Chains A and B, each alone.
Chain A
Amino acid sequence: CSKELDQEPRSILEETFYNTAAEAEAAVNAIFPPIRLGAQGIASYNATLECHSDYAYGRGSWAQFNDFSGLDATNTNRVGDFWNSFYLAIRNANLVIRHVPEGNAMNDEEKNRYVAEAKFMRAWCYFHLVRNWGGVPLRIESNMEEKDVPRSSVEEVYALIDADLRFAESYLPEDNAAQPGRPTKWMAKTVLSDYLLTNNKYQEARDKALELVQSGLFSLVPIQQVDDFERIFGAGVGVTDEEVFHFKYTREGQGNYYPFIINHPETGYFMKGGGKGAYAQYSNVNNNFYKEWSDLDLRKQLWYPMNIGLGEGTVLQKKFIDPAAANEYGAINDFPVYRYAEVLLLFAEAEARVNGVTAEALDALNQVKRRAYGREINTASDIDYQIGSFSPETLIDSILQERAYEFQFEGKRWFDLKRTGKAAEILQKNKGVAIADKHYLWPIPLAELNYNQGITENNPGY
């Protein structure tokens, strides 16, 4: 009679999954949604990072991020959501790393590939966690179900990132043409280069970036006028020559939320006719960054004036627009995590830091600038940076400034300001805000402090 009590759940279970390549692939795919999608994912995260920059401001509840005067519950909660999203992705990566090697219907090559994909994403998540929160609890496949895990040191987190990325570099495929956006060796090398540069390991950072430059697989998309940026960032452009690591979107509930955050309902840039858009980020022509910027730079023309009741000179950005989006979660612009322009600038900076002012560094830098001014990318032009005008320090400054122009609204600037130790100085100069030490790191979410007995201290100042 007790047989009646036996269960056969009609669900896919952790206990019985991860055997075939298709199952492993679906498990890897689950790493992406928490960070790609919705109001807790990359879009809001990116918006938050941009509010910390010297050129952009947040409207309404986002304003606190550019004020650097502390976070209220709304924003403590908001950054807590990003923590949650990264760790949810890490859990899903850990499940792959734990179970796939035991899969009974895959060969070793397949197993290594999926584990490499998971390790790549895990490293990428920890790279963001460590820069925003410092030493965080390291959850890996062996301790993922332990409740209380103390914070590791920053060095320990980077050690895991290093190990994961090197595994990924070894076992990821070169090509993802069948599924653009899946991790490749080149993506691993790019993240390696970025993390190494962040950790002052310039020689190796230079070499990793150089491998991409020399691969001949990537090039900048040329433009002539401001609307041509659509060829890089526009809705539905597909895979460009410049793409290294992008999050991909489709309309069916799988859209990019960021265009909703930045666009204004009256411009028609987003959901034309539907009238949505939070215009939560803006800048002002009186900001020093903006004032000192050459009007010839087509990237500056992405800013357009709009009165949103926040005073004269307010400008909004049209870098990511999708007039055909069906709803706020329906834009299909890629989110560029790494573009070839960044590889060039990673190379240029690392090269300059290792070898000083070199023609190679200048060339990489000039390629990015020429494209932005609508010039031939590989032809010397009147707007080029000139080799004779630089010391190594001023070259590095120019590269950082070029990064600031090039990656606006791509979430790079705040990390650049922090890693170079110039955040306080530049934010004071361009935005007129003073920044206290505590604002370099975000608070660990209350839910983590309440339930993880291994963590006894929040970041300083919280």
Chain B
Amino acid sequence: QEIPTPTIPGDTTNTKTQDTITGIVRDEQGNALPGVSVMVKGKPNTGTTTDPNGRYKATVGGNTILVFSYTGYGSKEERIGKRKEVDVVLRAEQEALEEVVVIGYGSVKKRDLTGSVAQVKATEINAFPTSNALQSLSGRAPGVQVYQGSGAPGPAMSVRIRGANSILGSNEPLYVVDGFPLSGSNPTILNNADIESMEILKDASATAIYGSRGANGVVIITTKQGGVEGTGSATQVDFEANYGIQQIRKKLDLMTGPEYATFYNLRAANDGVTPYFTQEQINNLPSFDWQDFIFRSAPIKSTSLNIGGGNERTQFSVGGSVLAQDGIIKGSDYDRYSLRGSIQHQISDKLTVDANATLSRLITGRKDSNGGARGNSLISSILGAPPALTPYDDNGGYRLLSNAFNIAAPDIINPLNWINEETNKTEANLVLANAAVTYKPISDINIKLLTGIENRDDRENMYRTNRYQGSTGEAKITANNEQSRLVELTANYNKIWNERHNFSALAGVTYQDFINSYVMGSGQGFISNVSGWDNLGGALVPLVPASGYNKSTLLSYLARVNYTLDDKYLFTVSFRADGSSRYRTDSRWGYFPSGAFAWRVSQEDFMKDHNWISDLKLRVSWGKTGTQIEDFYPTFNPLAGGYTVFGQDLHLAFAPETDLPNRDLKWETTEQIDAGLDFGVLDNRLVFTADYYRKTTKDLLNAVPLPTSMGYATTFQNVGQIRNSGVELGLNANIFKGDFKWDVTANIAFNRSKVLKLYAGADIFGDELKMNVVSDSRTILREGLQRGLFFGYLEDGYDEEGQIKYKDLNGDGSISNADRTVIGNPNPDFIYGLNSSMSYKNFDFTFFIQGMTGNDIFNASSIGSTVDYVSGLNMVRDVLNNHWTPENPNAKYPVISNTVNARVSDRWIEDGSFLRLRNIQLAYNLPVEKFNLGWLKRLQVYVSGQNLLTLTNYSWYDPEMPSSGSDYLSYPIAKTYTFGVKAGF
């Protein structure tokens, strides 16, 4: 079949030697590549693309350089010379040896890395739709654990790199977007499609350049940029759209209406009270399924468009995206609109300017979904609502659940109140923008001045109508502003001497400030619901407004030297000094040095005979990093304003809040050593990475709980030391090449924490649980043990009345605080991820498995539904079938009685191990070359499913927990079926 071959218009600059050049572009397997951009270097407007057979035709001058580029492949330049036929082979990018990895304040070739850095690329980040880009890190890199504690739309994720060091402070890594260290935790401003790559810096030699913010690791996010500097390329347009349906993954097996009545009659019988229901009533009771009523199927939709291109001197990238997610609980949703642009322009040989800006608007609709008890929060009311009651009363109003039966909890609220009569909507506008000027006085030196701003304005709106149970209408608006400004001056020097000594150096000074402010207004008592929160002035009872302002600053000096000898011996040293306004003058400055050495063994002469080894590198590193306290003014004791009343008037009152300041606070520092190995065989078809690390955190900041008789609840102290050590293994295998391709990447990581030292050797109790039937602290930090352990009583069967007995561990004849012990461990033995991607002809099939093993969950969610018999709540059906009776003394649940003897005990500890099929996807790449459409280069359609399969023994909704391992009536995580399309033009 003969089709016209595209032709590049003549190169008018050199008319003397016009020639027609033809050729075929293939990949390494010899397959013809259609749609490859071909153009004359420096003339981006004159490009063409290869035809479906990979062929191209160009009429150009003999001296021309042709540039071939194709997404996912390294671009290639060919000087034509006198050739008439130029065939080109493009290498797929994953296999390109000269891959570059972004590190702090610069980048290096992957092969020259001395530290432990993992890279996650656009294809992985974009593998399936997520509402938070960090979700896509889950399971992708060894030692990186992503915690999604809630299934609510637009969730904040929590990321742990090599375990958690800090008790008080954030254990979130530092996020650096295009060189700007973000002040907040999650980079929610970005859409997955905006991201070119994420680099995860793990060891201290990589993170120490971020000094006091490096202890939890650093995630460097690079957004998509235009073509390659100095080359230019054809304009590329990428479009993606997908649509998914989310459903609740699992329902809990609760009692029916008649079972409910039978259950409470049983309680009455056990307590010697008249039965609440007659048999006739029981027979006629309805069974209403509150879970079916509240949970729904909900769509998630996302669309993005990215355009990139440019010429030799100017490159640009523009992207826009819309994400709309509805939650599986009505009224919860998340919408994100974002627009991103970047431009680089070379003013002259010495001067380059570049700018990036991202604008986002996030609208989050929340439904009360965490914590609570006895039906006073949404999830607890869904679980606790009597199944013998329907949501509406005879008049069509919301049924008052609290006095429907005499046994009902006084606090239970009909969930429809939250669903229909309360709106919580946060509207956030985010800007992240930076601009830099780079000056090259001579070719070896690069001086860069970068300024940037991060700004987040969010407005939280709340309105509760006057139809909400017991409400006269309530409105509240809180406007927050978070702002961070950055000025950074860095200089780079690169020099190679005698082709043996490769030397580069970096020095810089940076200043960043962080400003938070807020203003809040609210009112109660609205005669009409029409205006919602938009008419605070219409409140019968205007409430007192509030505002606040915090500012802190960070001034830093940094330096780094890289030296490579003979491409075999690689050295890196770095240093950063951070001065923080959060500490008093004498402890203000922290110093963070690091050093690393790598030996590329495969480069040695004695390895020459071992051709099968393509890469072997040994790495060791050491360094110090810090953690900054989150509080802006931790050494002062601020007094909070309030009121009291004398006569009929308000009078101002000022008193401290709950934290007792510690005037002697100092930096928390983490010292880390790392030893690693990179090993590639068979031309890197199999690449293996292993790391061992040990992190020791000293002067650990902690909120030490104080006895309540002090009036203060906590104080911050540099109390102790924690160590995290572990092993991380990663494997990347190209099992099959050719028509049937199969790539597998896998990783596994083992981390162990140990509390080495605590203030005065004393235990630190934490995570106070305050539910009606069980109230106590439930975690402990104790010297010699792992961090975050669950602590409480051990159960010992039942007494002769069927009440729970506890083990008297200290043998003093009574059950007291001293009988508590470690009852569970939320830290997994190991975490892992496995990604398999196969392709055959036009089909791609991928699946991605992720999981953790050996961790415990504290299931506080089940407390209300399994032992809180006092308040007429619905229970899981198992309680009815498996409770204590004289005939069944070893039952799972205690006697059904008004007296409940529950404590923080091993009853609530469950194995939280899970293996999850995070994503499974089948894609079909349409043979666009056959359509003969010049403008369409690629078109892929796919179907996929997220969380379709989860293997776990965990009894409640979902085993994915916040890092504390505590399940406390959180919003259930959904499974999703997705259909999507990706196109390139």
Binding site for B on A (CB under 8 A): 1-2, 4-7, 9-15, 17, 23, 25-27, 29-33, 36, 59-61, 72-74, 76-77, 80, 83-84, 87-88, 90-92, 94-95, 136-137, 139, 144-145, 147-149, 176, 179-182, 236, 238-239, 247-254, 271, 274-276, 278, 280, 308-310, 326-328, 330, 332, 445-453, 455, 458
Assess whether B395 is interfacial by the CB under 8 Å rule.
no
Interface residues of B in 866-916 (CB under 8 A from A): 870-871, 899-903
A445 → B minimal CB distance (Å):
6
B709 touches A139 (CB 8 A): yes
A–B pairs, 21, beta carbons within 8 Å: A2-B579, A6-B581, A12-B641, A15-B637, A17-B639, A27-B653, A30-B654, A32-B653, A83-B708, A149-B709, A180-B646, A252-B541, A252-B543, A271-B470, A274-B471, A326-B541, A446-B775, A446-B777, A450-B707, A450-B817, A451-B707
Bound-complex Cα distance A84 to B632 (A)? 27
Which residues of A are found within 8 Å of B469, using beta-carbon distances?
Answer: 275
Which residues of B are found within 8 Å of A26, using beta-carbon distances?
Answer: 651-654
Bound-complex Cα distance A446 to B637 (A)? 26
CB nearest neighbor in A for B373: A74
B655 touches A252 (CB 8 A): no
Interface residues of B in 747-769 (CB under 8 A from A): 762, 765, 768
Question: Top 7 A-B pairs ranked by shortest CB distance?
Answer: A91-B711, A309-B406, A452-B707, A30-B655, A29-B653, A179-B646, A14-B637
Q: A72-B901, A251-B541 are in contact. Are A450 and B581 (CB under 8 A)?
A: no
B366 → A minimal CB distance (Å):
22
Bound-complex Cα distance A250 to B649 (A)? 7
Bound-complex Cα distance A92 to B871 (A)? 37
A249 touches B645 (CB 8 A): yes
Q: Give 1 or 0 for each of B509-551: 1 = CB within 8 Å of chain A CB.
A: 0010000000000001100000000000000111110001111
B555 touches A147 (CB 8 A): no
B649 → A minimal CB distance (Å):
7
Assess whether B772 is interfacial by the CB under 8 Å rule.
yes
Pick the most buried of A84, A238, A326: most chain B CB atoms within 10 A of its CB. A326
A30 touches B648 (CB 8 A): no
Contact among B540, B654, B762, B775 for A23, CB-based, below 8 A: B654
Which residues of B are found within 8 Å of A280, using beta-carbon distances?
Answer: 410
Interface residues of B in 794-847 (CB under 8 A from A): 816-817
Which residues of A are found within 8 Å of B660, using beta-carbon distances?
Answer: 145
Bound-complex Cα distance A95 to B639 (A)? 11
B710 touches A144 (CB 8 A): yes
Assess whether B588 is interfacial by the CB under 8 Å rule.
yes
Q: A11-B633, A12-B638, A327-B524 are in contact. Are A61 and B870 (CB under 8 A)?
A: yes
CB nearest neighbor in A for B774: A73
A330 touches B553 (CB 8 A): no
Assess whether B956 is interfacial by the CB under 8 Å rule.
no
A273 → B minimal CB distance (Å):
9
Which residues of B are found within 8 Å of A136, using beta-carbon distances?
Answer: 709
B637 touches A276 (CB 8 A): no
CB nearest neighbor in B for A328: B470
B644 touches A33 (CB 8 A): yes
Interface residues of B in 426-479 (CB under 8 A from A): 469-472
B710 touches A29 (CB 8 A): no
Bound-complex Cα distance A352 to B950 (A)? 78
Assess whether B636 is interfacial by the CB under 8 Å rule.
yes
B647 touches A451 (CB 8 A): no
Assess whether B3 is interfacial by the CB under 8 Å rule.
no
Assess whether B643 is interfacial by the CB under 8 Å rule.
yes
Which residues of B are found within 8 Å of A145, using beta-carbon distances?
Answer: 660, 710
Bound-complex Cα distance A40 to B93 (A)? 64
Please give 18 more A-B residue pairs, beta carbons under 8 A apart, in addition to A139-B709, A453-B762.
A7-B581, A9-B550, A13-B637, A14-B637, A27-B654, A27-B655, A29-B654, A30-B654, A60-B410, A72-B899, A73-B903, A83-B709, A144-B711, A147-B707, A179-B651, A251-B541, A447-B708, A451-B708
A248 touches B555 (CB 8 A): no
CB nearest neighbor in A for B660: A145
A181 touches B647 (CB 8 A): yes
B554 → A minimal CB distance (Å):
8
Assess whether B705 is interfacial by the CB under 8 Å rule.
yes
A438 → B minimal CB distance (Å):
12
B588 touches A76 (CB 8 A): no
Bound-complex Cα distance A32 to B643 (A)? 9
Q: A9-B636, A250-B648, A450-B777 are in contact. Are A274 and B470 (CB under 8 A)?
A: yes
Which residues of B are found within 8 Å of A59, using beta-carbon distances?
Answer: 410
Which residues of A are found within 8 Å of B649, using beta-carbon distances?
Answer: 179, 250
Q: Give 1 or 0 for each of B614-652: 1 = CB within 8 Å of chain A CB.
A: 000000000000000000110011110111111111111
Assess whether B706 is interfacial by the CB under 8 Å rule.
yes
Bound-complex Cα distance A123 to B822 (A)? 41
B650 touches A252 (CB 8 A): yes
Assess whether B9 is interfacial by the CB under 8 Å rule.
no
B710 touches A87 (CB 8 A): yes
B545 → A minimal CB distance (Å):
11
A450 touches B765 (CB 8 A): yes
Bound-complex Cα distance A113 to B276 (A)? 59
B653 touches A330 (CB 8 A): no
Which residues of A are found within 8 Å of B632, using beta-carbon distances?
Answer: 9
B772 → A minimal CB distance (Å):
4
Bound-complex Cα distance A4 to B551 (A)? 11
Which residues of B are found within 8 Å of A92, using beta-carbon distances?
Answer: 655, 711
Bound-complex Cα distance A419 to B522 (A)? 47
Assess whether B712 is interfacial by the CB under 8 Å rule.
yes
A267 → B minimal CB distance (Å):
13
B635 → A minimal CB distance (Å):
9
Contact among A74, A95, A455 for B655, CB-based, below 8 A: A95
B645 touches A254 (CB 8 A): yes
Which residues of B are found within 8 Å of A447, using beta-carbon distances?
Answer: 705, 707-708, 768, 777
Bound-complex Cα distance A145 to B469 (A)? 44
Bound-complex Cα distance A145 to B661 (A)? 10
B707 touches A252 (CB 8 A): no
Which residues of B are found within 8 Å of A94, using beta-carbon distances?
Answer: 711
A4 touches B555 (CB 8 A): yes
Which residues of A are found within 8 Å of B775, using beta-carbon distances?
Answer: 73-74, 76-77, 446
B481 → A minimal CB distance (Å):
14
Which residues of A are found within 8 Å of B817, using beta-carbon distances?
Answer: 446, 449-450
Pick the most buried of A60, A83, A248, A445: most chain B CB atoms within 10 A of its CB. A60
Bound-complex Cα distance A309 to B276 (A)? 10
Pick the most buried of B552, B660, B706: most chain A CB atoms within 10 A of its CB. B706
B579 touches A5 (CB 8 A): yes
B709 touches A1 (CB 8 A): no
Which residues of A are found within 8 Å of B710, using beta-carbon distances?
Answer: 87, 91, 139, 144-145, 147
Assess whether B500 is interfacial by the CB under 8 Å rule.
no
Assess whether B245 is interfacial by the CB under 8 Å rule.
no
Which residues of B are found within 8 Å of A13, using beta-carbon distances?
Answer: 636-639
Which residues of A are found within 8 Å of B543, using beta-carbon distances?
Answer: 252-253
A11 → B minimal CB distance (Å):
4
Interface residues of B in 104-133 (CB under 8 A from A): none
B555 touches A2 (CB 8 A): yes
B705 touches A451 (CB 8 A): yes
Which residues of B are found within 8 Å of A95, using beta-carbon distances?
Answer: 655-656
CB nearest neighbor in A for B541: A326
Which residues of B are found within 8 Å of A328, using beta-carbon distances?
Answer: 470
Assess whether B773 is interfacial by the CB under 8 Å rule.
yes
Q: A139-B710, A252-B542 are in contact. Are A5 and B553 (CB under 8 A)?
A: yes
Pick the most buried of B651, B774, B870: most chain A CB atoms within 10 A of its CB. B651
Which residues of B are found within 8 Å of A88, using beta-carbon distances?
Answer: 711
Bound-complex Cα distance A147 to B656 (A)? 17
Which residues of B are found within 8 Å of A29, using beta-carbon distances?
Answer: 643-644, 651-654
